[in-house]
Amino acid sequence: MSSDRQLFHFQYVTFLLSNHFLLLPFNRPNMKLFVFLLFCFNQFGNTCYCNSVLQALYFCRPFREKVLAYKVQPRKKESLLTCLSDLFNSIATQKKKVGVIPPKKFISRLRKENELFDNYMQQDAHEFLNYLLNTIADLLQEEKKQEKQNGKLQNGSIESEEGDKTDLTWVHEIFQGTLTNETRCLNCEAVSSKDEDFLDLSVDVEQNTSITHCLRGFSNTETLCSEYKYYCEQCRSKQEAQKRMRVKKLPMILALHLKRFKYMDQLHRYTKLSYRVVFPLELRLFNTSGDATNPDRMYDLVAVVVHCGRYVIFGAF
């Protein structure tokens, strides 16, 4: 293993859209010894969408360490993060390598905070992941804001409101990457770009394909023509142009979401794309921008969340 990978713990998680268990290989450098941990979560209704994501996140080392560290801080008002920290701590302190843990406290808090999950219906794992990460980030930002107002920050400096809006949390440090949308005018060759941040990448899937192919399709060059022409600031008129998406800032942990649920116009409903998608144990992103930092970094696969079932509204994660 390169020193680069040891330093940043680059990992990627694939949400194929629960496995009620997760197998994680340790000692990857020599590939000779594997230690498997198997912990299941009890179901409280159809909570497999939640259980599977929590298992995947637990084995994302940087995230797990931050959540566990949050527990040792002065006791805070109960929130989704305090409940998650208690749950992760109960796993980390288990003496056995196999067991069943009831995430009852976390599920109860989740249902109190969001009515979408306050039922026994099946939900989407990807939607839950986004909700959880954004909720934790919002909570951490609010705590930081309160600390500033109470004068508890060591630097004691007064920052602008704009600075408060751009404060990054450890959720952003771990999962956030940046995409750059590049558009090139085919008349004057001028290139414009617009950046946007992401916590996960959602990519389309095709029949008999691979993760690499899906990512290639995500960054395919698109020609803007006819009624979709691009307004070029240099030409001051609409021109044909080429547009493509590139990864400008690679995240520490890359979360990929394969879009298996597709709306079919002829059926007037969503259907599931049960295509076989090959995913590697190691992944290198090739669709990076020219100014990307460390574009050759390698990611190790740590978790896969799979939706089992033929239909969109039925099945299990």
The pLDDT of residue 71: 81
- Percent of the chain residues past pLDDT 70, beyond the cut: 75
pLDDT band at 282 (very low <50, low <70, confident <90, very high): confident
| Gap between the Cα atoms of 73 and 228, Å rounded | 53
The pLDDT of residue 31: 35
Q: What domains does the chain contain, in order, with CATH numbers? A: 3-24+34-149+166-305 (3.90.70.10)
- Residues 214 and 282: beta-carbon distance below 8 Å: no
- Residues 247 and 289: beta-carbon distance below 8 Å: yes
Overall average pLDDT of the 259-279 stretch: 75
The pLDDT of residue 277: 84
pLDDT at position 24 over 70: no
pLDDT digit string (tens) for 7-21?
333 555 554 432 222
pLDDT at position 137 over 90: yes
pLDDT digit string (tens) for 25-78?
233 343 333 344 566 776 666 778 888 899 899 888 899 999 999 987 777 789
- Residues 135 and 80: beta-carbon distance below 8 Å: yes
Q: Which pair of tokens denotes residue 266?
A: 């002829």
pLDDT at position 6 over 70: no
Burial zone of 82 (CB within 10 Å; 0-12 exposed, 13-18 middle, 19+ buried): buried
The pLDDT of residue 266: 76
- Residues 265 and 21: beta-carbon distance below 8 Å: no
β-bridge partners, 223: 242
Give the 3-state DSSP-derived string for 174-189, with helices as H, strands as E and coil as C.
Answer: HHCEEEEEEEEECCCC
| Gap between the Cα atoms of 46 and 23, Å rounded | 22
What pTM, to 2 d.p., does this model score?
0.80
225 versus 270: the higher-pLDDT residue is: 225
202: Cβ contacts below 8 Å, ≥ 6 apart: 126, 257, 258, 259
pLDDT digit string (tens) for 73-86?
777 789 999 999 99
Q: What angle do CA 176, 178, 183 make, to 5 degrees?
A: 160
pLDDT at position 192 over 80: yes
Residue count of the chain, please give it.
317
Give the 3-state DSSP-derived string for the chain, with helices as H, strands as E and coil as C.
Answer: CCHHHHHHCCEEEEECCCCCCCCCCCCCCCCCCCCCCEEEECCCCCCHHHHHHHHHHHCCHHHHHHHHHHHCCCCCCCCHHHHHHHHHHHHHCCCCCEEEECCHHHHHHHHHHCHHHCCCCCCCHHHHHHHHHHHHHHHHHHHHHHHHHCCCCCCCCCCCHHHHHCCCCHHHHHHCEEEEEEEEECCCCCEEEEEEEECCEEEECCCCEEHHHHHHHHCCCEEECHHHCEEECCCCEEECEEEEEEEEECCCEEEEEEECEEEECCCCEEEECCCCEECCCEEECCCECCCCCCCCCEEEEEEEECCECCCCCCCEC
β-bridge partners, 276: none
